[in-house]
Amino acid sequence: MLQRRPLVNALLEFQKQESISFHVPGHKQGGLSNLPSEMTAALPYDVTELTGLDDLHFPQEAIKEAQLLLAEAYGADQSFFLVNGSTVGNLAMVHATCEEGDQVIVQRNSHKSIFHALELARVRPIYVSPQWDNDSMTAVGVSYESLERAITAYPDAKAVVLTYPNYYGMASTELTNIIQLCHSREMVVLVDEAHGAHFQAGAPFPVSSLALGADAVVQSAHKTLPAMTMGSFLHLQGTRVNRKKIEKYLRMFQSSSPSYLILASLDDARSFIQSYSQPDIRTFERKRTDFINSLRTIPHLTVFESDDPLKLLLRVENYSGFQLKQKMEQTGLYAEMADPYQVLLILPLLKQRHAYPFAEARSRLKEAVRLVREEDRAIPAVQLQESIEISVPELSFEEIDLADYEWIPYTQAIGRIAVGMVIPYPPGIPLVVAGEKWTTAKMEELMNYMSSMAQIQGEHRLEDKKLSVLQQDFS
């Protein structure tokens, strides 16, 4: 039985009026749209801030009630719907917490939106490198010891920004102690929990950072819950983050014309996870186990189970994840992402009533493995160069903006200071950020991504084999 969904119900009641539109949006309830009928069917619900439908930026009715239910579901003191993705939540929590010039300790493998928030806020980042996990073959969270050293070296830091879990579902077991350490030093803890909106379902999923004591937590409801793309949550607890400032920056950074379809999907996603029952969990676990067992019968395929049961990593020995992903897509099987070593699957968070074509997926994956093994082997060797545990950019964001720069062949960039970010996407974690030096290790990683035909975003001209760096006479 569905729980209350006040915003969904408000939209349904509004449609019963059979109203005539003399308001935005211009498609006039879909009547002027040339989209296929399958798409226009949703347009009558793509409305604006009309009487009875409330206002996201000044909620008093259905949206207010829906956000109160969201806070109740997640155990937060206050929660917000986000219609511009977790990006806007990351921007808002950094700006609400920090002032220009503040020092901020940041997990180095954060999402690009965190680095954009730091740059816009004009803070002074101190980067802490994550640990490398040989089992998942990913960079996971920062260790307690590393963070403690960073706090000791930079005791005036205002906040600590962490990512939990990582894109692959690996969740730090030290987060409780890390949060307690930060609070003992009067530092605010901000967590990008984009991939953890479903953790509220409880075991066997990891515990949310909100339950572990984080002050502000951003979650992408659209990643693992049944919300539309760009639908996210922001949760606050305690008094370390100024709620009025959060509201102010959300008004500034979010669209003044929010999508009611996205908002309704967030209301529905909250209801979905709040009503996720023990029988639902048992159904999910059973179907997941059956699927994994079936995959393990495919010759040459290795399945790695993440800390988060929604995430699976697939590997074919001596072949890159990019190669496997390409062959999977030839069979009509689309994964979340690939890296040089593996492919990441995000499983559906099934309830008892749901079916999913796992058997067909297994058949297609078997064919993809057969196809990939017909190719030349192309997996790069794992690069485990020592990374600098704690680092600060060579220059501040302001200094970079004022400096002259030049475009040079990327092979000549080692030792030079980057002007902007270079970002393999997904997962959206920058190889280099503005103000950092290109190192041999970073350049080798970039070349691995380029040779694997990975998508690379950011400030570059790699199609011309060039990168932008500060001029060498800068001082």
The reply to whether 343 and 452 lie within a common domain is no
The reply to whether 330 and 346 lie within a common domain is yes
pLDDT in tens, 199-244: 999 999 999 999 999 999 999 999 999 999 999 999 999 999 999 9
Q: Is residue 388 part of a domain?
A: no
Q: Considering the entire predicted model, what is its pTM?
A: 0.94
Whole domain around residue 79: which residue ranges?
6-275
Can you state the percent helix, strand and coil of the chain, rounding each to 5? 35, 15, 45
The reply to whether 253 and 398 lie within a common domain is no
What average pLDDT does the segment 174-192 reach? 98
Q: β-strand 132-133 against 138-139: which pairing, if any?
A: antiparallel
What DSSP character marks residue 115?
H
The reply to whether 214 and 159 lie within a common domain is yes
Domain boundary among 327, 345, 373: 373
Q: What is the CATH number of the domain that holds 400?
A: 3.90.100.10
Domain boundary among 242, 275, 308: 275
171 and 307 in contact (C-beta within 8 Å)?
Answer: yes
The reply to whether 233 and 326 lie within a common domain is no
Q: Is residue 384 part of a domain?
A: no
Beta bridge partners of 53: none
What is residue 426's predicted lDDT score, i.e. its pLDDT? 76
Q: Is residue 359 part of a domain?
A: yes
Amino acid identity, position 241: V
Q: Tally the domains of the chain.
A: 3
Give CA–CA dist 420/62, Å, rounded. 42
The reply to whether 223 and 261 lie within a common domain is yes
287 and 73 in contact (C-beta within 8 Å)?
Answer: no
461 and 467 in contact (C-beta within 8 Å)?
Answer: yes
The reply to whether 224 and 327 lie within a common domain is no
Q: β-strand 460-461 against 466-470: which pairing, if any?
A: antiparallel
Q: What is the CATH number of the domain that holds 69?
A: 3.40.640.10
pLDDT in tens, 346-389: 999 999 999 999 999 999 999 999 999 998 876 655 454 457 89
171 and 205 in contact (C-beta within 8 Å)?
Answer: no
The reply to whether 309 and 411 lie within a common domain is no
Share of the chain above pLDDT 70, in %: 97
The reply to whether 169 and 247 lie within a common domain is yes
